[in-house]
């Protein structure tokens, strides 16, 4: 179905695992699945979910995506399985490979995800780690493409913590040659390895910009994006980060500095009137809930590729 396959061992652990053409193909398949111009059925296929982190959108969107493909989902809750009692990943991965056809894993360390992929004989999907949120980035660029048609020449400005979401936006932006600007307080920049590797993918190295001034970053931007300042597992840092991120909220002042046709994205859940104002979430510029829906469509496209 897809040309120029770059997936290593048919796993999707990082947006770096995809070629530019593969990203575009996944977005096209997702678009056609969403419009019902494409019907793919994967009868009797089973998706296993292993979520060490709590989830609403990721869990439900994967379950619905698999259901629409005609498959079944098994939710392997660590608190009610041997996973939570310390069974080695290499044992869990090999056993589940005999029961399931694909695994989607939401965990803390990227190394844990890679360990699953090492021992599993079925595809493993990154449903979020502390390093990356690759499925989210695919949904984000589908949303941008739906709005503007062409991605080339568009400017995506992310304001906030240089976290896993920021990392994946940087990688996808580099693959698609989209200008990405990251505005964050000093000391909260995205992963340096991600920045270095993504920069090498750009034809024009100046298309990736990291700054500590949100007003400079949003000037003329087509897309404004933010996420929570304190991710899961960072609760103890919340007070410190709230102080550090003062002035990095997406509000009407920032929107007025952006392009006239600017849209606003947030991967949710949102702390209204913190990293983004309630007014902006409910504004005509917001595409946040279209973005949330698109998680289901891109994951349906991704599953159909990995299992076809």
Q: Is there a contact between 199 and 190 (Cβ–Cβ < 8 Å)?
A: no
SS3 277: coil
Tens-digit pLDDT profile for residues 75-105 = 997 776 777 677 899 999 999 999 999 999 9
- Find, among 184, 76, 52, the residue nearest to 130 by Cα: 52
Say if residue 116 is in the same domain as residue 214. no
Taking residue 177's Cβ as centre, other Cβ atoms within 10 Å add up to 15
Say if residue 236 is in the same domain as residue 272. yes
Say if residue 60 is in the same domain as residue 206. no
Q: Is there a contact between 113 and 86 (Cβ–Cβ < 8 Å)?
A: no
Q: Is 68 a catalytic site residue?
A: no
Q: Which one from 266, 267, 287, 297 is the annotated catalytic residue? A: 267
Domain count, the chain: 2
Tens-digit pLDDT profile for residues 248-284 = 999 999 999 999 999 999 999 999 999 999 999 999 9
Say if residue 216 is in the same domain as residue 243. yes
Say if residue 281 is in the same domain as residue 302. no
Q: What is the mean pLDDT of the segment spanning 17-21?
A: 96
Average per-residue pLDDT for the chain: 94
Say if residue 105 is in the same domain as residue 146. no
Report pLDDT for 86: 79
Residue 10 inside a domain? The answer is: no
Report pLDDT for 80: 65
CA–CA dist 167, 259 (Å, integer)? 24
Say if residue 110 is in the same domain as residue 39. yes
Residue 279 inside a domain? The answer is: yes
Q: Which one from 57, 133, 266, 297 is the annotated catalytic residue? A: 133
Residue 6 inside a domain? The answer is: no
- Find, among 174, 183, 186, 191, the residue nearest to 131 by Cα: 191
Residue 222 inside a domain? The answer is: yes
Q: Is 63 a catalytic site residue?
A: no
Say if residue 44 is in the same domain as residue 120. yes
Q: Which one from 59, 68, 106, 266 is the annotated catalytic residue? A: 106
CA–CA dist 38, 219 (Å, integer)? 39
Report pLDDT for 7: 58
Tens-digit pLDDT profile for residues 183-233 = 999 999 999 999 999 999 999 999 999 999 999 999 999 999 999 998 877
Say if residue 243 is in the same domain as residue 164. yes
Q: Is 100 a catalytic site residue?
A: no
Tens-digit pLDDT profile for residues 34-61 = 999 999 999 899 999 999 988 999 999 9
Q: Is 98 a catalytic site residue?
A: no
Say if residue 24 is in the same domain as residue 148. no
Q: Which one from 59, 181, 266, 295 is the annotated catalytic residue? A: 295
Q: With a threshold of 0.85, does the pTM exceed it? A: yes
Q: Please provide the distance, in angstroms rounded to a whole number, between the alpha carbons at the two ends of the chain.
A: 8
Which range of residues forms the domain containing residue 255?
Answer: 135-291
- CATH number of 144's domain: 3.40.50.1370
Q: Which one from 52, 140, 161, 227 is the annotated catalytic residue? A: 227
Say if residue 157 is in the same domain as residue 121. no
Q: Is 272 a catalytic site residue?
A: no
Q: Which one from 136, 291, 299, 300 is the annotated catalytic residue? A: 136
């Amino acid at each position: 179905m897809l040309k120029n396959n770059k997936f290593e061992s048919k796993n999707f652990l990082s947006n770096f695992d995809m070629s530019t053409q593969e990203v575009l193909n996944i977005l096209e398949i997702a678009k056609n699945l969403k419009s019902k111009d494409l019907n793919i059925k994967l009868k009797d296929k089973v998706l296993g979910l292993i979520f060490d982190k709590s989830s609403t959108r990721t869990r439900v969107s994967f379950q619905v995506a698999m259901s629409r493909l005609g498959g079944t989902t098994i939710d392997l809750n660590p608190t009610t399985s041997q996973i939570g009692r310390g069974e080695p990943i290499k044992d869990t991965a090999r056993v589940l490979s005999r029961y399931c056809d694909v695994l989607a894993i939401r965990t803390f360390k990227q190394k844990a995800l890679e360990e699953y992929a090492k021992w599993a004989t079925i595809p493993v999907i990154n449903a979020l780690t502390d390093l990356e949120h690759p499925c989210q980035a695919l949904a984000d660029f589908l949303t941008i493409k739906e709005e503007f048609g062409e991605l080339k020449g568009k400017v995506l400005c992310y304001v906030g913590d240089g976290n896993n979401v920021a990392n994946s936006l940087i990688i996808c932006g580099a693959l698609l040659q989209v200008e990405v600007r990251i505005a964050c307080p000093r000391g909260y920049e995205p992963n340096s390895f991600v920045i270095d590797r993504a920069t090498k993918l750009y034809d024009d190295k100046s298309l990736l910009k990291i700054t500590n001034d949100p007003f400079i970053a949003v000037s003329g931007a087509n897309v404004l994006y933010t996420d929570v300042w304190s991710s899961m597992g960072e609760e103890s840092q919340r007070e410190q980060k709230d102080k550090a991120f003062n002035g990095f909220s997406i509000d009407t002042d920032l929107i007025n500095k952006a392009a006239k046709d600017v849209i606003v994205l947030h991967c949710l859940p949102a702390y209204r009137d913190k990293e983004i104002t309630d007014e902006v979430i409910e504004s005509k510029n917001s595409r946040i809930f279209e973005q949330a829906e698109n998680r289901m469509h891109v994951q349906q496209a991704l599953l159909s590729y990995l299992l076809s």
